[in-house]
Amino acid sequence: MKGALTSPAFIRRLESLHLLARKVLGGRLQAQRRSTRRGSGVAFADYAPYYPGDDYRAIDWRVLARFDALLIKLFEVEEDTTLHLLVDTSRSMTAKLTRACEVAAALGYIALHHHETVALHWMEDRLRPALEPGRGRARVWELLRTLESAEAQGADTDLLQCARQLHSRHRRRGLVVVISDFFCPEGYERALSYLTWAGHEVFCLQLLDPADLTWSWLGDCDLTCVETGSHRRLTITQGDADRFAEAIQNWNAGLERCCKDRQIGLAATDTRAAFDHIVLDLLRRGGLTAATEHRG
Amino acid sequence: MGGSLGKMVAVTFLSPAFLWSLALLLPLAALFLIRVKPRARPTTAYFLWERLKPENRPSHLLRRLRDLFSLLLLAAAVTAAALGLADPRGEDEADTRPLLLVIDQSASMQRRLADGRTLLDHASEAAAGWIRALRGGRQAALMSVDSDLHQQARLTAHPPELLRALDQVQPGGLPLDEAVLAEFAETALASEESRVLFFTDAAKNPSLPEGLECIAVGPAGERPGNAGLVAADLAPSLTLNGAATLLARLVHDFPQAVTGRLELSRRDEAGGESLIRVLPLRLEPGQPRRLVEEVPEAEPGRWVLRWRPDAGADALALDDAVDLVLPAPRPVRVAVTGVEPFFAQQAVRAFASERGTLQVVTDAAQADVILSIGELAAEPAPGPARLIFRPEGDSPWWAEAPGAELDTPLPLLLEPEHPLLRFLDAASWDFRGARHLRPPAGSLVLARQEGDETPLIYLARRDGSRVAVVNLDPVASGFYLSPAFPVLVRNAALALAGRDETLPPQLRLGQRLVLPTEIPGEADRWTLETPAGAVKARAGAVVRVHDAGFYALPEADWTAGAALLAAGESISVGAAEKGALSPQPAGLGGRPWAWWLGLLAVGVITLESMLYHRRRVG
């Protein structure tokens, strides 16, 4: 992946994607994200009784004239939100890592061009910070270079551990995009619950390889886990292969159910799709903003 | 322990060089270990496989054992194949004698059992078991026996040759001649260097040699019953003119009473049959049935008698029909010449009523045989046959005129079995009145003077005429009064007329038929018509009766029917003792170890192939 994300061709595709995103979103993906904290924003939120010390400029004089009540107008605080890109770099993502980085690059590119704060994390058996939160278009180049350096390593993906570490390092709530295949032996439910409990807006992008969905080898084999290296000898029959495909389907259906229950946006795709199509489709469906608006 | 740990079986290999193929085990084991190492298959969802196929200790152990088991199977297959190729043979040191396998090929072996197979099939199967079990180069020969002994395969250690010969043994229709078997067995067992196994359907006859091992064949249990004709005759009735007397005897071995019928049919020239009599019969268990029946207006010729059971067929069809011949009355016409013909005529009349054997005629020109006493009247040759007593004067039937009487005639019999002397003891006769004379050249002397060449009884032939000369004076010796006189007249009349009664009216299969030594007319060979066709046979030849049907000698105007007519073939004898008489051949299932090892190798390879298939494709 050396140089793939910083090549002029890729940059041009990102730029095109950014323009398309603006057209698709119509400016909705602004950095101004409404906060439940009320303060000096521009969006009216509520009235409150005046107390000494409050800003005179907030007194609604019309209400005073009409009802003889001294009330002040409250406005929602507009604050910049950090986009946490959690890219699964465990060994199970070896075949999917390029596509995952491309998608992450596109999302990060769009976010930075919209003055969002973007942070990048590698997700394995633990969370590894790859790019500290920062904003501004100037960080695009750093983001892309960092993504280019990604390589699959580490042991089993531990989503819960990663979620805990993210929360411990970044107390401020933000938008968390998890790009992974979600093949986690310990499961994904607790990790996603943890992230939502921590106040993050979570979006899951499940990236799969077509070979992950079925099992074509029959007979004796030394089944090896790509992440831990564990292996065991098995004789796999056609029935086993069918049951495996069914188990994969159930696993993915469980993820979908879990996300739906927690009002988490989910998009599942495979590596055959181009990254810009994935991102554009994601934006068209309002995946990233839907959750935000819902929570707002 | 009983003092014995069992008999140790030594094993030899006929082709030990093949044991080197066991060296293939090493590279095969190496190849196997390489082959069974499964290819690594990486997966991103290992945890799902662990849930789908949780690994517990027994399955893990089983998988490891399975690989080891496959290796062992492969080794076992190679070992079995190598050992099979080496052809192991157990070496029975106690008995290496050659085996002489004798198959009972007699008619009773055609009996069809409940399983649809004949007893001969079972005998062949049992013999094949012994042949396949031959080991250590042990030799065997194959023979079959019915009325004769037939060698099927010479002594050999090559089982396929014996098996091929065994396939050639076909069911015969002749009865078993135990004398033939006994003679062979005694010869074979005399040196104690052979072992004789007789595969038969019956228990061993005590008269057979002790060393002969009888192996009763056929499945245990009740055998299908059989009823058959063992005697039958059709002869002119002694009491009714134009009638015939039928005599028949049936035996059976049905455990219960059976009913059926005897059908007597007349056969015409074209071979067609006309049913004449139907005689219903009921056969009680354990009781043979004898039947004498008068058949009125029976025409001479060929007949057939058939037994037809009411309920289906019996086990052996060969004994259910007998071909019969009712001879036409054709007496030998005898004229008596010379002085005092009374006694001679009475002697002829004594046999005139015995089925019309002889007939007295007064005109010598119409006679078949002339009985002369004393000097002969001159007759141009060829004349009728003559029986001459007390030869006198010149005659072509003796070389010169008879000389003086013998002082003390002492007869010496040279041909006591000749038909002329049948039923007679000529050595005790009083040959008083016998005279010195010399027979013509080519004469057959049946008796002569002791210490002298003077013939006392002789036969001569000249220009187609035959004479029998009895050199005695029947009056002086009182031979007229002897009971031997009419018998001699009868024998001589039949012999001289060519009606030799050595030819029987009914033939049994397997019987030896002795053709008459005298052929009427100018022919030098008999034409014997048999069911299989006509054959030429010399006078006095012995012919085996092989086929059921009609045998005829046209020159002798003789026809007889031939049938099985053997009680020993129609009923089972001692089959119940089968179990005690069935030694099993050595070897597993009667097959050589190489056969089983080959089978084992194929089976093991098949099993291993299934395991391999499962390993490869699940």
B53 in contact with A, Cβ within 8 Å: yes
B56 in contact with A, Cβ within 8 Å: no
Domain span holding position A49: 34-79
Q: Which residues pair with B293 in a beta bridge?
A: B246
In a domain? residue A266: yes
Give the separation between CA B97 and CA A29, rounded to whole angstroms: 109
Q: Is the pLDDT of residue B381 over 70?
A: no
C-beta separation of B141 from B156 below 8 A: yes
C-beta separation of A6 from A102 below 8 A: no
Q: Are residues A101 and A73 in the same domain?
A: no
In our burial notation (b when 16+ CB lie closer than 10 A, e otherwise), range A183-206 reads bbbebbbebbbbbbebebbbbbbb
Question: In this predicted model, what pLDDT tens digit does every residue of B294-320 receive, in sequence order?
Answer: 998 888 899 999 999 987 768 888 899
Contact criterion met (CB < 8 Å) for A235 and B55: no
Question: In this predicted model, what pLDDT tens digit does every residue of A188-239 receive, in sequence order?
Answer: 999 999 999 888 888 899 999 988 888 888 887 888 888 888 888 888 888 8
H helices within B191-321, ranges in order?
none
In a domain? residue A3: no
- Nearest CB to B40 within list A185, A222, A243: A222
Average predicted confidence (pLDDT) for chain B: 82
- Say how many domains are in chain A: 2
What is the DSSP-derived secondary structure letter of residue A179? E
Q: Is the pLDDT of residue A62 over 60?
A: yes
Chain A nearest CA to B608, separation (Å): 15
H helices within B23-134, ranges in order?
25-36, 46-52, 57-86, 119-132
A183 chain-B contacts, CB cut-off 8 A:
44-45, 47-48
Closest to A244 (Cα-Cα) out of A273, A265, A223: A223
In a domain? residue A178: yes
In a domain? residue A2: no
Q: Are residues A123 and A135 in the same domain?
A: yes
User: Looking at residues B204-224, what average pLDDT do you find?
Assistant: 76
Q: Are residues A111 and A52 in the same domain?
A: no
By three-state DSSP, how is residue A257 classified?
helix
Q: CATH class for domain B332-496? A: alpha beta
What is the DSSP-derived secondary structure letter of residue B23? G
CATH number corresponding to B99-219: 3.40.50.410
A218 in contact with B, Cβ within 8 Å: yes
Q: Are residues A95 and A46 in the same domain?
A: no
Q: Are residues A25 and A44 in the same domain?
A: no
Q: Same fold for the domain at B227-322 and the one at B332-496?
A: no
Q: Are residues A208 and A68 in the same domain?
A: no
Q: Are residues A63 and A181 in the same domain?
A: no
Sign of CA dihedral B428, B432, B433, B436: positive
The CA-CA-CA angle for residues B201, B202, B207, to 5°, reads 135
In a domain? residue A90: yes
Domain ranges of chain B: 10-92+596-617, 99-219, 227-322, 332-496, 506-563
Q: Is the pLDDT of residue A20 over 80?
A: no
Question: In this predicted model, what pLDDT tens digit does every residue of B435-467 receive, in sequence order?
Answer: 999 998 888 999 999 988 899 999 998 877 889
Contact criterion met (CB < 8 Å) for B45 and A212: yes
Q: Are residues A52 and A108 in the same domain?
A: no
By three-state DSSP, how is residue A158 classified?
coil
pLDDT at A25: 54
Q: Are residues A54 and A27 in the same domain?
A: no
B552: confidence class by pLDDT, cuts 50, 70, 90? very high
In a domain? residue A20: yes
CATH superfamily of B227-322: Immunoglobulins (2.60.40.10)
Question: In this predicted model, what pLDDT tens digit does every residue of B328-343 receive, in sequence order?
Answer: 777 888 888 876 778 7
Q: Are residues A108 and A228 in the same domain?
A: yes
- Beta strands at B444-449 and B455-462: parallel, antiparallel or unpaired: antiparallel
Task: Provide the CATH number for the domain around residue A180.
Answer: 3.40.50.410
Q: Give the Cβ contact number of residue A124 at 10 Å.
A: 21
Which residues numbered 247-266 in A keep a CB inside 8 Å of some CB on B?
247-248, 251
Give the separation between CA B318 and CA B304, rounded to whole angstroms: 13
Question: In this predicted model, what pLDDT tens digit does every residue of B537-547 receive, in sequence order?
Answer: 998 888 989 89
More confident residue, A42 or B124: B124
B47 in contact with A, Cβ within 8 Å: yes
